Amino acid sequence: MNSSRQHARSIQRILAAVAAVFGFATIWAGTRVLAGSDPGYVVLQPLLFYNTAMGVAYLATGIVMWRSREGGKLAAAAILVLNLLVLAGIGFAYVNGYAVAIESIRAMTFRTGVWLGLYLGFAWLSRGTSAPGS
């Protein structure tokens, strides 16, 4: 394996690890609140369930990313789109006076930004690669 391919493989593994760790952190935070821990602001229950479930998807996507660049790119794109839709929905609700905490908007913006970065990383890695298992 040449050094350029080795470098790309290392970046792929780092991005996959970020996705998996982010998934674990999301599951941990969500289950704590579901178990009764008070985050210090009003929790929008559907968003809490969504984010906790997405933590599992983030973890699964980390595994996909570890194994396949193209699969990782597609999974990251799907998560990015879902997060953007949810962010738009809670942003709309917030602007229209529904009980959505600004912390929820910030957290969803952060999640969406993380997945934008992961998607862009995999899009960059998968450009011009056609090798099996890439």
Nearest residue to 126 via CA among 59, 65, 58, 82: 65
* Predicted pLDDT of residue 134: 47
d(CA 26, CA 45) in angstroms, rounded, equals 15
Q: Do residues 126 and 134 lie in contact, with contact meaning Cβ atoms separated by under 8 Å?
A: yes
What percent of the chain has pLDDT above 90? 84
Average pLDDT of the chain is 93
* pLDDT 10s digits, 64-117: 999 999 999 999 999 999 999 999 999 999 999 998 999 999 999 999 999 999
Res. 133: pLDDT tops 80: no
Q: What is the pTM of this model?
A: 0.89
Residue with tokens 């738009």: 88
